[in-house]
Amino acid sequence: MPLEARNAGYGYDKNHWIFRDMNLKLEQGEVVGLWGPSGSGKTSLGRILAGYAEPMAGEVLMDGKPLPRAGVCPVQLVFQHPEKAVNPRWRMRRVLHEAEMADHPILNALGIQPEWLDRRPDELSGGELQRFCVARALGKETRYLIADEMTTMLDAITQAQIWQTVMATARQRNLGLLVISHDLDLLNRLCDRIIPMPVT
């Protein structure tokens, strides 16, 4: 059963919609791209699909029901800016421990060095920190991953390593993957199909 936005609309004030009547369906095992220019509302839609925000119109459903309110959300979101996504006071071991990922083989596949686990976020580079955010988002409850400009800030080698691991994991675990980007070349390389943001 899919993750879907049905006739979803959103805006930051009631008189100005960023998008309206957005329909998107993501099945498990699918890799779907969400494309649109800067400011078209991709991040806002990703946040709605992961339960970080409520749509102003329409609904978000998983298996035909609203997202669960309690427990670990089966829809996980990785943002463009990892430094905004982790508690600055926590060491990385604790960040992973919270997601039950502290000794998972995926850490090695993502190129996470054991000594990084004793550091805090500001003692890692953006690329190193993003690897932790990706690992954390791939906990055992995850069924859908929303990757919002996940590797936009990173160099080509780091981008390739992260995508290789995420794509292999998505295939093995039959995850649904929504790749949000303004980069059509990246989406064409990774995705089974691409959905454009509607023009408002």
Binding mask 38-57 for ligand ATP (x = CB under 6 A): xxxxxxx-------------
Q: Which stretch binds ligand ATP (CB under 6 A): 31-39, 120-128, 129-137, 167-175?
A: 31-39
Q: Residue 128 Cβ, how far from ligand ATP at the closest point, in Å?
A: 22
198 binds ligand ATP (CB under 6 A): no
- CA distances from residue 47 to 51, 91, 122, 145, 190 in whole angstroms, order as listed: 6, 26, 25, 12, 21
Q: Which stretch binds ligand ATP (CB under 6 A): 37-45, 56-64, 70-78, 99-107?
A: 37-45
Q: Which stretch binds ligand ATP (CB under 6 A): 36-44, 55-63, 103-111, 123-131?
A: 36-44
82 binds ligand ATP (CB under 6 A): no
Q: Residue 34 Cβ, how far from ligand ATP at the closest point, in Å?
A: 9
Half-sphere exposure of 79 (CA within 13 A, CB side): 12
# binding residues, ligand ATP (CB under 6 A)? 11
Q: Residue 193 Cβ, how far from ligand ATP at the closest point, in Å?
A: 19
Asked if 34 and 42 touch (Cβ cutoff 8 Å), the reply is: yes
Cβ count within 10 A of residue 58:
18
Q: Closest by alpha carbon to 162, among 115, 188, 119, 129?
A: 129
User: Cα–Cα distance between 9 and 90 in angstroms, integer?
Assistant: 36
Residue 43 or residue 130: which is nearer to ligand ATP going by CB? 43
151 binds ligand ATP (CB under 6 A): no
Residue 44 or residue 158: which is nearer to ligand ATP going by CB? 44
18 binds ligand ATP (CB under 6 A): yes
12 binds ligand ATP (CB under 6 A): yes
Interaction site with ligand ATP (CB under 6 A): 12, 18, 36, 38-44, 182
